[in-house]
Amino acid sequence: MSAQQAQKQPRTAPKEVRQQQLIDATINVLAEKSISGTTMADVTGHAGLSMGIVSLHFKSKDNLLTSSLRHLAMELRDAWLVIFRDPTLTVPQKLMGIATASFDPEICSPKKIAVWFAFFGEARYRKVYREMAEEFDDERSDALEELCTALIEEGGYTDVRAEDLATTMECLCDGMWLNMILYPEWITPDYAEAQMTNLLVRHFPKHFDAPRHLPKPCGPT
């Protein structure tokens, strides 16, 4: 590292740390109060920072909210992309890994799912979500379709359409997330992963094991 780079590093690191502090605080507040109830005072108070720090790093509340959603989207993207690019994994392993990445407890925690649905439910921010969906969800859907196509050709499956199955997997992910936030004691990440596993077993029986036992979700007694 050059002397000039060494001088710049101390100024860069605190900026990144402050931005992440604000994003983490925003996610926590959004999960509790949704978008309409979230104020910058709430966020800075949660982060233990001054109001001026938001303007310094994000300029506006909208930018901070959008950056927080992008942070979650990138977290999910990083999780499945490392699987897709792993040369040591087989096609079935990659497909299973990507299809179930959304159910990793670190990604589908109640807090983070609540933030996703805060953007789903706020009319003003749906456009923000749709734009990110085109960037992130479409990329994942293409990867799923590519892997499904490879298995269809390899296994000689004649009753499976890769594009349709990729769409079904995307919809199942969204549906499981919705059920996890509505019924967190009933629907768990493990249950959601088992549902996805069974979907793949039914369509690619030559490549995946017999369906997993699905424990019946338990409601309140």
pLDDT reported for residue 11 = 38
- Using pLDDT thresholds of 50, 70 and 90, give the confidence band for residue 43: very high
Closest CA to 184 of 136, 133, 218: 218
CA–CA–CA angle 49, 54, 57 (5° rounding): 115
Whether the pLDDT of residue 214 is over 70: the answer is no
Residues of the chain with CATH 1.10.357.10: 70-221
Which of these CATH numbers, 3.30.70.260, 3.40.47.10, 1.10.357.10, 3.30.470.10, describes 70-221?
A: 1.10.357.10
Q: What digits encode the pLDDT tens for the residues 49-68?
A: 887 877 777 888 888 999 99
| pLDDT tier, 129 (very low <50, low <70, confident <90, very high otherwise) | confident
Report residue 219's pLDDT band, with 50, 70 and 90 as the boundaries: low
Higher pLDDT, 103 or 136: 103
Sequence-distant (6+) residues with CB within 8 A of 114 are 30, 31, 34, 181
pLDDT band at 3 (very low <50, low <70, confident <90, very high): very low
- The residue-averaged pLDDT of 78-97 equals 97
Q: Would you say residue 4 has pLDDT above 50?
A: no
- CATH top-level class of 1-59: mainly alpha
Q: Where in the chain is the domain with CATH 1.10.10.60?
A: 1-59
Helix axis angle for 189-203 and 162-182, nearest 10°, is: 160
pTM score, two decimals? 0.84
